[in-house]
Every structure is written in C-alpha cells, then in structure tokens.
Homo-oligomer: A and B are copies of this chain.
Amino acid sequence: MNEKRDRKAARAVVLLSGGMDSAVVLAMAIRRGFEAHALTFRYGQRHLVEVEAARNVAAALGASRHVVIDLDLARFGGSALTANGEIPRAAAGADRPEIPATYVPARNAVFLAVAASFAEALAARDVFIGVSAVDYSGYPDCRPEFIRAFESALNLGTRAGATGFPLRLNAPLLEMSKADTVRAGLALGVDFGLTRSCYDPEGGGTPCGRCDACRLRALGFDGAGVADPLARQKT
C-alpha cells in the first residue's frame, strides 16, 4: 500500500484566491509534480468575482480538485474588504508602514490553518500560499517571519507534526518582485486574463486602476515589460 502511494504524485494543498499570485503558485506546484488540491474561501469578500476566477484558473492549470469553502469572516467586521465601506485608494509598497483598511483580521492565519486541516485529511505534507514581500504593503500576515512561525506552531498542533511528518508551508513568491511573478507565470503558461485582482466590487473584475491591488498588478506587468491581458480587454 505504501509502495502504491509512493508511485503516485505527492499531494499538495494550494491556496487559490483568483488573483495573479496564487495562480502562479498553483502552476509552480503542478510543475514540481504535485497532485494539486486547490482551496478557495468565500469569506465574505466584496469582490466575489475572485471565486469564479479561481475556478477558471484551477481548471485551466489542471488542478486535481478545487474546493470552495464558506467561512463568513465578514460577520466579525473589521475590514474594508468585507464591510460596506469605501475601498481605499492609496499608494502601495513596502515603504508604507501603516496597515491598510483592506487588511482582513488574521486572514492568512485562518486560511493556512484550514489548509493544514485539508492537507492532513489528504495525507499531504505540502501547503502552498502566494504571499510575497512586495505584496506585503503593510499586511502583517504576508511577512516571512509569520509564515515560518505559523509552520512551527502547526507542526506542534497536528497529527502530522506529532508523528514525524511535518507540514511544509511553501511560499515560493516570498522573495519575488511582482515583475518576477509575472515573468514566472508567463514561463509556466499562466493565462493572466483569467485572474482578477481589483478590490472594487463595482467593476465586476475590470481593473479600477486605483486600488492597491490594481496598482501592484500594473507595477508587475510594467516591470516585466508585457501588457496585462485584463488591461487589453478594457481598452
């Protein structure tokens, strides 16, 4: 039975948001030979078009399975991404120290904990998440020290860790610029036209060009010297 399992591809859980970063991470996991189980949350975000984008990305890249989980963090309030407030228009970047209003309390902790539960149930050792230092822009749960500490904590609190098969939290974009992410995605055949980044729920996925997510996306495509297929669709 172990022999049979060894011959099959190892499984991995890939957090997939519908944005460009997690699409590249899913492509990376599949390229590395994993049987990829994509996991998307409907967590009360105002930009639900992301969930549909995640479906399209998972299908296009060949994920083995795509699970969409409902978890209504919006009931707690506390973020412009889940409440009915104004989406802030502001410059993004690691040089801006304050935490933006679009921060969803403990979101990546929640996503990683649920992904760990999924991974254990699958007997998978690897979880992938698309956080990056550039994408940090004030979100504390995108910092490398958070990812490492969370991995250690999970391995103290899971069967996997307690029995000598620790979970690995893979964050392959952690040290990559947005332009590097665009280049890597293009090399892996990611269709960025299927991804959605804009925080503004009014646009139905068409980039507003003004929110943090749109600005980071534009920086990535500009830096890589290629056109964003979404921007092309718009003009």
Chain A residues within CB distance 8 Å of chain B? 67, 69-73, 75-79, 99, 103-110, 112-114, 116-122, 140-141, 143, 145-146, 149-150, 152-154, 156-159, 161-163
Contacts and interface: CB of A to CB of B under 8 A. Distances in A.
A157 to B, nearest CB: 4
Given A103-B159, A140-B162, A159-B99, A109 B154 contact: yes
A143 B153 CA distance: 11
Contacts of A154: 106, 109
Nearest to A13: B76
A161 B106 CA distance: 10
Given A108-B157, A110-B116, 15 more contacts: A76-B120, A76-B122, A78-B120, A78-B122, A79-B121, A99-B159, A105-B119, A105-B159, A106-B113, A109-B113, A112-B113, A113-B114, A146-B153, A146-B156, A149-B152
Contacts of A75: 67, 69
Contacts of A105: 116-121, 158-159
Given A72-B69, A78-B120, A122-B76, A109 B162 contact: no
A72 B157 CA distance: 20
Nearest to A159: B99
Among A69, A120, A163, chain B packs the most CB atoms within 10 A around the CB of A120
Contacts of A119: 105
Contacts of A106: 113-114, 116-117, 120, 154, 157-158
A12 to B, nearest CB: 14
Nearest to A142: B157
A120 B140 CA distance: 13
10 contacts: A73-B114, A73-B117, A76-B118, A105-B116, A106-B113, A106-B154, A110-B117, A140-B158, A149-B153, A150-B153
